[in-house]
Chains A and B, each alone.
Chain A
Amino acid sequence: MRHDDITEAIGDTPLVRIDPAVHGLANIDLYAKLELLNPFGSVKDRAAWHMAGPLLDRAAPGDTLVELSSGNTAKALALLAGMRGLPFKSVTNRMKVPEIKELLLLLGAEIDELPGRSECLDPADTDDPLSRMHRQLALEQTGYLHTDQYFNQRNVDAHVHGTGPEIVKDLDGRAPDWFVACVGTAGSSTGVARVLRQHNPDVGVIGLVAAKSDFIPGIRTIDEVHEVGLFDPGVYDALETITAEEAVDGLLTLVRRCGILTGPTGGGAFAGAVRFLRTVDAGLTGRRTAVFIVCDRVESYLSYVRDRRPELFGRPPRRNSTRTLTDAEVGAAPEIAVPDAQRWIEETGALVVDLRNPYAFQALHLAGSINIVDEAFADLLHAGLPFSGRRPVLLVCPVGEKSARYAALLTRMGHPDVRSLAGGVIAWRDAGAELVRD
């Protein structure tokens, strides 16, 4: 396969059968449409290219491509704009996945996060994020090219011309009996449903939305879908709710048992599809087919999964960790009070280690101390004692609590004379002892 341009690699994604041993359905062949294999990593590559292509063709130098997006659309648009040497700006009402945010910054995107709601009610503020963005764009009066994914019919068309026909082609010219898709902009579900129904008016279209209190990236909640211009409830035979828990379960199954590196949206589509199909499977006599969409890849959602399933990222306990200290050991940590400490440092030439953050250390610290920030110090200790036992050490933190734990640990590790400054640097300051900024 040879291409002149990465955009030619958009589309033509594979349809992969899920092992019946995994989904457990007796009479239904379940297929995953692997949109994660698009060149920029998601189903949004299609819509982004279809919407942005004409805009980019007539763009003037210095124009900015802009979209209200906190995820995959922004990523695809940033790359497409970058290929034309144009900037991309994403306006969002809270980007909740840090990796996506960082990836967008890496791609050169500019990100504006819209303000949150006001604490004291402000009746003058009734704008939704979309209206606010339109107003902001109009105010700034420069060359903005707005793809407008929630209202742009070309979003749907991308799937009418691409995703839908590809599914039919791969199923040997037939439409599946059921099509299951998560609803974000409603572009893929609406476009694919339209094509499938042309082949088989009886195809069952299942739209999946997130439970209201849940957050699943890329899926709208049952309320939020009504804010989408492309959303038409008539497209769906059923709208079902899935939870973040189910989405993560589905993700784990596809990743660990099927070799499909899906993100939570695809995981949710799989979980929602299996849950729905299980209810109809028992009553079937002949073979049926169902297709769901795997929207994007798992790598961008590690922190999302980690927040919900920290046990999946469990590591074996590390050596020499303050977490292994007993209360008795912490209680017995060698401490020294401020007036004695001043004398002791002078007499013994003790090494003073300040565990606070560098920014605070640089602002004010004990004269002659060195700064090894807490986390870095913990890392050093895993490997063993970082000091010679011949020199006394004074550990310093804000209130003497952290330093006491480390003093207890270093004592356990065999340092003969380590102490924690009682009351910490705050007690030092309050006693009127010298702090310097050098």
Chain B
Amino acid sequence: MLSLTPRIDPTIQSLLDDRDYLAELLDALGSPLALVLPQRVPKNVAAFRETFRRHRLSGRLYYAHKANRSSALLRELAAGDAGADVASLGELQHALSAGFTPDRIVATGPKNREFLWLAARTGVTVSVDSADELAELAGIVAGHRLPRVPVTLRLTGFASAGVRVLTRRSRFGTPAGELADLLDLVEKRADQVELTGIAYHLDTVGLAEKAVALEGGLAALDACRARGLRPRSLDIGGGFGVNYLADGAEWERWTTELGQAVLGRRPPMTWDGHGYGLRAENGTLRGNLAVYPAYRPVAGAAYLDRLLRTPAPEHGLPLGELLLDHMYDLDVEPGRALLDQCGLILARVLTVDDDRVRLDLNARDVSLEEHGVLMDPVVIPRTGERRAGPAGVYLLGNLCLETDLITRRKVFLPIVPRPGDLLAFVNTAGYFMDFSATNALHQPVARKVAVYQSGGLRRWCLDEQYWPVHSRQETL
């Protein structure tokens, strides 16, 4: 058995235990079905706030909208004290309609003119990626006689001293070395834009790279202050991660066995011997295990805490202390980490043929493989009796395509699934639910349902019907 058992929160577990409820939902709304748990979100926000408090830092926590397009999750966040990080015109409209006021929204990512206009019109903070974008924004503000727009400058490619910490090239941000030119432009456009901070986006799990960038961001803020500008915050983006698995030993065993399988020293564990980035060359293992580090003992708010305790590469003081000493706010933009344990996807088993289990959903409805997160689903048998296992199976999707594998690895389930059973892909609210879902081949995209507690009862409604003010029975 090479299981990769998911980490399951009590709320999700109690939902999984309520088989009749889930079966009824699926029968009513069809397979696949996405469930979001909006009331779980405030707990994740609170964990980040606790890290802020421990380091005596103030600042904003922006939810990265792209992680899930659910209205229920967004509205629940709007009801609390988090902000929203929007990366498109549609996301900005969605955030505004969910109740976020403009001072709680930051616009990031690639932006077209419409997006820039609505951002400027409503007065949300714009995270600017280049001098051209800044000039275009200032032009829109001037042309439409809008009030000054708050901007942060997103930088990239911070240099490190001594040991050169190499970072992957990013599509986003202006090279840190070109800050002076950007600031010239900010000063020239002072009637249209107001600099409020510096930002960066780093796609890495490596603390060393983030430490270099954070310290580089502080130096950039200091350069702004030296010019008489009044920036107040450093936005360090997201990438704090989620721990998906219950057991680190399972993860270690699985990855070791995969290497052995790629070297031909044990039977294959994957469809057609797929190596997840690893390959054998003359008996030596080459390549890079291209999957998400699914077992991460330090993730989310704890990862941020670790980062803030990390000594600055040059100044030696912990980064959190440096931020505090300088009196800068810390802004963060977690996506996945705020949705930890906030949702699951259900699908019905259609056929079971030897080691192939065909499901009524496809790889785009639950894009675990696309995002490299290896985590087993939970089998919810239709009837009460349990059937003998374990079973090593491949999960196949409902598209007429050879590529439509829900898992490229053999999944070991504790019991043998049968047609009519449900499979639950838990903890899938962050990125796996609707990031790539499409209507390809006229297969329906999963309906989305918000499951919540009200008046001591578990209730559900369509995602778009959920608002954080629950029905009147709670006041009765």
Residues of A within 8 A of B285 (CB): 223, 226-227
Give the residues from 209 to 248 in chain B that come closer than 8 angstroms, CB to CB, to chain A: 209, 222, 225-226, 238-239, 241, 248
Tell yes or no: A2 within 8 A of B by CB: no
Residues of B within 8 A of A229 (CB): 282, 284
- Is chain B's interface secondary structure helix, strand, loop, or mixed overall? loop
Tell yes or no: B10 within 8 A of A by CB: no
- Is chain A's interface secondary structure helix, strand, loop, or mixed overall? loop
Tell yes or no: B322 within 8 A of A by CB: yes
Are B205 and A117 interface neighbours, CB within 8 A? yes
* Least Cβ–Cβ distance between A157 and chain B, in angstroms: 19
A36 to B142, CA, bound (A): 70
* Least Cβ–Cβ distance between B378 and chain A, in angstroms: 23
Q: Contacting A111 at CB < 8 Å: which of B163, B205, B372?
A: B163
Q: How many residues of A contact B (CB 8 A)?
A: 48
Are A118 and B288 interface neighbours, CB within 8 A? no
A426 to B283, CA, bound (A): 60
Residues of B within 8 A of A231 (CB): 284
Are B327 and A226 interface neighbours, CB within 8 A? no
Q: Contacting B327 at CB < 8 Å: which of A101, A110, A130, A425?
A: A425
Q: Contacting B288 at CB < 8 Å: which of A127, A232, A426?
A: A127
Taking A94-B208, A119-B239 as contacts, is the C-beta distance between A113 and B166 under 8 angstroms?
A: yes
A295 to B259, CA, bound (A): 28
Which of B85-93, B132-140, B146-154, B289-297 lies at the binding interface?
Answer: B289-297
Which of A171-179, A319-327, A355-363, A386-394 lies at the binding interface?
Answer: A355-363
Residues of A within 8 A of B327 (CB): 360, 364, 398, 425-426, 429
A130 to B281, CA, bound (A): 13
Residues of A within 8 A of B370 (CB): 121
A268 to B164, CA, bound (A): 31
Are A437 and B225 interface neighbours, CB within 8 A? yes
Contact string, A165-197, partner B, CB cutoff 8 A, digits 1/0? 000000000000000000000000000000000
A110 to B166, CA, bound (A): 13
Across the two chains, which residue of chain B brings its CB closest to A229?
B284
Tell yes or no: B386 within 8 A of A by CB: no
Give the residues from 372 to 431 in chain A that come closer than 8 angstroms, CB to CB, to chain B: 398-399, 401, 425-426, 429
Tell yes or no: A112 within 8 A of B by CB: yes
Give the residues from 315 to 357 in chain B that come closer than 8 angstroms, CB to CB, to chain A: 315, 317, 321-322, 324-327
Are A357 and B325 interface neighbours, CB within 8 A? yes
Contact string, B410-422, partner A, CB cutoff 8 A, digits 1/0? 0000000000000
Residues of A within 8 A of B324 (CB): 398-399
Tell yes or no: B277 within 8 A of A by CB: yes
* Least Cβ–Cβ distance between A227 and chain B, in angstroms: 5
Contact string, A89-131, partner B, CB cutoff 8 A, digits 1/0? 0000011000001000100001111111111111101111011
Are B222 and A105 interface neighbours, CB within 8 A? no
Taking A223-B259, A360-B325, A399-B324 as contacts, is the C-beta distance between A118 and B203 under 8 angstroms?
A: yes
Taking A105-B162, A117-B206, A426-B327 as contacts, is the C-beta distance between A213 and B252 under 8 angstroms?
A: yes
Tell yes or no: A228 within 8 A of B by CB: yes
* Least Cβ–Cβ distance between B220 and chain A, in angstroms: 13
A361 to B171, CA, bound (A): 35
A119 to B288, CA, bound (A): 14
Tell yes or no: B177 within 8 A of A by CB: no
Are A357 and B203 interface neighbours, CB within 8 A? no
Residues of A within 8 A of B283 (CB): 232
Tell yes or no: B165 within 8 A of A by CB: yes
Are A119 and B222 interface neighbours, CB within 8 A? no
Are A399 and B225 interface neighbours, CB within 8 A? no
A123 to B367, CA, bound (A): 14
Q: Which of A122, A212, A222, A401 is most buried by chain B, counting CB atoms within 10 A of its CB?
A: A212
A359 to B226, CA, bound (A): 13
* Least Cβ–Cβ distance between B470 and chain A, in angstroms: 34
* Least Cβ–Cβ distance between A185 and chain B, in angstroms: 12
Are B322 and A360 interface neighbours, CB within 8 A? yes
Residues of B within 8 A of A125 (CB): 168, 288, 290
A365 to B99, CA, bound (A): 39
Residues of B within 8 A of A118 (CB): 168, 203-205
Residues of A within 8 A of B222 (CB): 359, 363
Are A123 and B163 interface neighbours, CB within 8 A? no
Q: Contacting A119 at CB < 8 Å: which of B162, B203, B248, B252?
A: B203
Residues of A within 8 A of B325 (CB): 356-357, 359-361, 398
Q: Which of A111, A122, A127, A398 is most buried by chain B, counting CB atoms within 10 A of its CB?
A: A398
* Least Cβ–Cβ distance between B340 and chain A, in angstroms: 14
Q: Which of A105, A116, A125 is most buried by chain B, counting CB atoms within 10 A of its CB?
A: A116
Tell yes or no: B255 within 8 A of A by CB: yes
Across the two chains, which residue of chain A brings its CB closest to B311?
A98
Tell yes or no: B403 within 8 A of A by CB: no
Tell yes or no: B43 within 8 A of A by CB: no
Tell yes or no: B266 within 8 A of A by CB: no
Contact string, B239-265, partner A, CB cutoff 8 A, digits 1/0? 101000000100010011001100100
Residues of B within 8 A of A398 (CB): 56, 324-325, 327
Are A113 and B208 interface neighbours, CB within 8 A? yes
A359 to B225, CA, bound (A): 13
Q: Contacting A116 at CB < 8 Å: which of B56, B163, B208?
A: B208
Across the two chains, which residue of chain B brings its CB closest to A122?
B203
A399 to B285, CA, bound (A): 52
Tell yes or no: B188 within 8 A of A by CB: no
A94 to B225, CA, bound (A): 34
Are A112 and B164 interface neighbours, CB within 8 A? yes
Are B164 and A111 interface neighbours, CB within 8 A? yes
Are A126 and B277 interface neighbours, CB within 8 A? yes
Residues of B within 8 A of A356 (CB): 325
Tell yes or no: B167 within 8 A of A by CB: yes
Taking A121-B291, A227-B285 as contacts, is the C-beta distance between A401 and B259 under 8 angstroms?
A: no
Across the two chains, which residue of chain B brings its CB closest to A105?
B162
Residues of B within 8 A of A130 (CB): 286
Residues of A within 8 A of B162 (CB): 101, 105, 111
Across the two chains, which residue of chain A brings its CB closest to B207?
A116
Are A127 and B317 interface neighbours, CB within 8 A? no
Are A121 and B288 interface neighbours, CB within 8 A? no
A131 to B279, CA, bound (A): 12
Taking A363-B222, A364-B327 as contacts, is the C-beta distance between A126 and B205 under 8 angstroms?
A: no
Across the two chains, which residue of chain B brings its CB closest to A359?
B315
Q: Would you mind naming 28 contact pairs between A and B with Cβ atoms under 8 Å apart?
A: A111-B163, A112-B166, A113-B165, A115-B166, A116-B205, A117-B293, A118-B168, A119-B205, A120-B431, A121-B291, A122-B203, A128-B286, A128-B288, A212-B256, A213-B248, A223-B259, A227-B285, A227-B286, A229-B284, A356-B325, A357-B317, A359-B315, A361-B325, A398-B56, A398-B325, A425-B327, A426-B327, A437-B225
6 pairs of A and B residues whose beta carbons are closest in the complex: A116-B206, A360-B325, A121-B372, A119-B239, A356-B325, A226-B285
A117-B206, A121-B373, A398-B324 are known; give 19 further A-B pairs, CB within 8 A.
A105-B163, A115-B168, A116-B204, A117-B288, A118-B203, A118-B204, A118-B205, A119-B241, A120-B371, A121-B371, A123-B290, A126-B290, A127-B288, A128-B287, A130-B286, A357-B322, A359-B326, A360-B325, A399-B324
